[in-house]
Structure 1
Amino acid sequence: MACGVQALAGVATAWADEPPPPMAQQATTPSAIVGAEAALTQARAAPRSSQAASAGFVADSRLDLEWRNYTDYFHAAGVSRHAWAESLQAKFDSAFTRGPIGFGLDASAFGELKLDGGRGAHNMVYVGRHGDGERRRAWAYLGGYGVKARISESVLKYGLQDVSNPFLDPHDNRALPPTFLGASLLSREVNGLSMQAGSFTKVDPRGQTNLVSLRTSYGGVRFERVSYVGATWDYSANGSASLYADQADDVWRQYYASLQHGVGTIQSIRLTGFANLYSTHDTGASLQGPIDNNAFSVSLSAQHGAHGVLLGYQKILGDQFFDYIDETAGVYLVNSMDVDYNAPHEQSLQLRYTFDGKHAGMPGFSAMLWAQQGWGADASAAAQRFGPNAPPFGSLYVRNGQPVHGRHHEFGFIPTYVVQSGTLRNAKVTLIAQWHVGSSYYSDGANQAYRLLVTMPMQIF
């Protein structure tokens, strides 16, 4: 099950060539495909949210448009699907009223036109309430809305929104992104420290226009609410640490920790180390069965000028798959690339090369090439517990009549170009090519995926 997963900052972390800015950032990820697929346009910088500096509800409001052309081809044993779609996102973010407490409103309108894609395209195009919808040619809906309040440097928001943390992070690798219904709090009262909390109950998934219950990605278990709290501390210009916890009601409690640090400069060699850990344990009614799982990854990257190399290692400790919430990129492990390398007891190793054209007289151009291998998967304990056909989890741990096991590997190539000037400034073209080879008894089979994405952002005011 491919993750193919957000946070443009995560890409920068993987081969950082500059220290992070002094303002506290949200938790990042060394999984470069998260940024390559999700940050399809260049996200505008988030200013320090100071109520004392408010210019009023109207003065700082803005309306942005993003046009996206999305083409996808996917091939696997017995499966061949394709899609071609155009989408438009119109996002209005109001400023805050003046005074000790500022109030504001946000709203987003999403629309999509399917140019190609038939049965099997699923959320690459449109999915109806009952799984139908292949013949739908165009659709539009409110992709986001919310009310918000700001005190000092803290913003509280309720509505249908996107969020960015190690558990909830929109899996934005289609023509339109998912959004989540709930409340979020982001506070930056202390310089260098970013604190978050939130609680969410529904999601508007990719390819759909209606709210549905949250569910786990691999187990497929629906649950009522997920709540989280956490913080990221930029302890120096070259390093940061994060600590988060969440609870998916009656499914699991999950904890996340990360540490990154960089030394040197790209004129000589800049080294960046990154380590992170998820610890997951069942709670309440344990709707997904017993869970006692730890998953960690470590990576070391080196950059000299335009060239960067990263070595990443990942391991799953436990008899269950490392799982996360569906429709999210909530898997910040370094080797979650084309597939997740998250089977019980699995280990994986990645070698990645990156090229940053701004340091080689080619501003706007970047490229990434990687290869990785997974081994040691062993789902025999869970397969024996649940049985090969016991719903709902037996089939998750069994492949072709045997417990999930075996080796697998993948290769990938992602070149990107961002237009630097002129009428099309900030337009972005990204090609994503991924090849995965899985053994007969591994959970992810052999597949080939090709995506071409062209995005163009525009600020109306």
Structure 2
Amino acid sequence: MYRTTLTTQLLLGASALIAGLPATADILGESKASLELRNFYMNRDYRQNGATQAKAEEWAQGFLLRYESGFSEGPAGFGLDSLALLGLKLDSGGGRSGTQLLKQDKETRRADDEYAELGLTAKVRVSQSVLRLGTLQPRLPTVSYNDARLLPQTFRGVHLNSKEFSGATLDVGRLSQVNQRNSSDYENMTVSNGSSGAIGARTSKRSNAFDFADLTYQWNKELSSGYHYGELHELYRQHIVNLVHLLPIGEQQSLKSELRFAKADDAGESGIDNGAYGAMLSYRLAAHTFGLAYQRMTGDSGYAYIAGSDPYLFNYVQFGDFANRDERSWQARYDFDFAGLGIPGLSVMTRYVKGTDVNLGANSPTGSEWERDTDIAYVIQNGPLKNLALKWRNATVRASHFGNDLDDNRLILSYTLPIW
């Protein structure tokens, strides 16, 4: 009863705050609100001998109410955004929880019936710069929120986005806490140990400050580059450089090439010492896109990123990140858009990623792993069910000497209803 009452209060509170914003023409004229309904079924079958759990299988319903106000009039415009999240359990059970769709009881490991969060973000706009304070969902090379389950990951902090100079985009800020995708509690941040747990960070220490500075410059229509800095206080410092080039070849043809380099060092007692190199080529021919990627880790640890977030890696895919110590990996990918065959809204993606040379420590054999993913998605284009989206995601994962062997299936049904 308490949980239901709390959830109702959160959703009503968000609506009241939205209604209570100053009624200026700009705020109302530029504002927008939507409600996303996300139905998520997930089945993960563990295939290795001696697995502590045979499978994880859960079904849940999510509600994501988003509101973005406009800005008040004047040299400095003020506004307020809100994000109300609610997750409901539809099916789970003893021995089947752990998909990260739902919040778990820390003692019994059983899934909670529901969980909820209300996030508010105050914002100020001056010229071509916007300062946001409160609940944040950054999408940057240094830190990127995860939205691969029922509800998205969120952060608390301050973020300045500036486009004062033509072609240049500057993002600076500080994050203080994180709320994971299957949680309603904010906590301090720590370093990811990798999806497989093979030689990642050697610490469980947490930090309440992540500073970031990202500068991207668009040289022309075809070429852009960026430098990015992130520091999780007392854990790691990281520098990232990237270069993106898009070459138009002819009608309905293009070649996209991207290079990435990252270097992370220990800023305390994490044991972080990593260099990450990556390159990807994507050739588009009408409805077809063919991609090849290569990724390599060097140093005494795996890739450094905030636990639970999305790392800036080509071979971070449905399950694995292929970012363990000394790991080398390559990816082959194919995408097809069925709009070319007269079926707009239907698309398919398939890829294969192979990783080798994983350093598991002295007197241990090197590890290897591979993952095969397939996504089939369809978005209804017209009629009363327009924008209803259905996606099936399948992954097969196998590892040698470390990690998990598993088969993973996800069925996601989502519909976004514009409120205004």
Taking structure 1 as the reference length, the TM-score comes to 0.79
Deviation at 1:133, TM superposition (A): 6.3
d(CA) in 1 for partners of 2:252, 2:155? 43
Alignment of 1:203-282 (within 5 A): 203-218=178-193, 219=201, 220-265=204-249, 267=251, 269-282=253-266
Superposed CA deviations along residues 287-342 of structure 1, whole A, max 9, x for unmatched, are: 312x321001101111111111111111001121113101211x121111131111
Aligned partner of residue 222 in structure 1, secondary structure: coil
Match of 1:366 in 2: 347
Superposed CA deviations along residues 241-299 of structure 1, whole A, max 9, x for unmatched, are: 1210011000110111111111124635311111111110112xx2312x321001101
Alignment of 1:20-419 (within 5 A): 55-76=25-46, 77=48, 78=51, 79=53, 80-119=55-94, 121-122=97-98, 123-128=100-105, 130=106, 132=108, 134-142=110-118, 144-218=119-193, 219=201, 220-265=204-249, 267=251, 269-283=253-267, 286-289=268-271, 291-329=272-310, 331-337=311-317, 338-380=319-361, 403=364, 405-419=366-380
d(CA) in 2 for partners of 1:451, 1:71? 6
d(CA) in 1 for partners of 2:273, 2:293? 24
Aligned partner of residue 27 in structure 2, secondary structure: coil
Aligned partner of residue 141 in structure 2, secondary structure: coil
Deviation at 1:190, TM superposition (A): 2.2
Match of 1:17 in 2: none
Flag structure 1 segments of 5+ consecutive residues without an equivalent: 1-53, 385-401
Match of 1:453 in 2: 412
d(CA) in 1 for partners of 2:110, 2:127? 48
Deviation at 1:167, TM superposition (A): 2.4
CA contact (8 A) 1:167 1:325 kept: no
d(CA) in 1 for partners of 2:250, 2:120? 42
CA contact (8 A) 1:69 1:85 kept: yes
Deviation at 1:403, TM superposition (A): 3.9
CA contact (8 A) 1:107 1:146 kept: yes
Flag structure 2 segments of 5+ consecutive residues without an equivalent: 1-23, 194-200
d(CA) in 2 for partners of 1:346, 1:112? 37
CA contact (8 A) 2:142 2:214 kept: no
Deviation at 1:132, TM superposition (A): 4.8
- Of stretches 333-342 and 176-185 in structure 1, the one that deviates more from structure 2 is 333-342
Which of 426, 435, 438 in structure 1 is aligned with 2:396?
435
d(CA) in 1 for partners of 2:224, 2:283? 18
CA contact (8 A) 2:349 2:376 kept: yes
Deviation at 1:141, TM superposition (A): 2.7
Superposed CA deviations along residues 166-187 of structure 1, whole A, max 9, x for unmatched, are: 1221111111011100001111
CA contact (8 A) 2:36 2:416 kept: yes
Aligned partner of residue 30 in structure 2, secondary structure: coil
Higher relative contact order (CA 8 A, sep 6+): 1
d(CA) in 1 for partners of 2:111, 2:291? 44
d(CA) in 2 for partners of 1:95, 1:269? 39
Structure 1 pair 341–304 and aligned structure 2 pair: CA distance change class (3 A)? same
Aligned partner of residue 213 in structure 1, secondary structure: coil
CA contact (8 A) 1:154 1:189 kept: yes
Equivalences, count? 380
d(CA) in 2 for partners of 1:460, 1:147? 21
Taking structure 2 as the reference length, the TM-score comes to 0.86
d(CA) in 2 for partners of 1:403, 1:69? 43
- Of stretches 148-157 and 188-197 in structure 1, the one that deviates more from structure 2 is 188-197
Whichever residue aligns with residue 281 of structure 1, its letter is D
Aligned partner of residue 359 in structure 1, secondary structure: helix
Match of 2:10 in 1: none
Structure 1 pair 55–405 and aligned structure 2 pair: CA distance change class (3 A)? farther
d(CA) in 1 for partners of 2:313, 2:116? 34
CA contact (8 A) 1:300 1:310 kept: yes
d(CA) in 1 for partners of 2:126, 2:222? 29
Whichever residue aligns with residue 104 of structure 2, its letter is V
Provide the alpha-carbon RMSD of the alignment. Answer: 1.8
CA contact (8 A) 1:233 1:240 kept: yes
User: Alignment identity in percent?
Assistant: 27
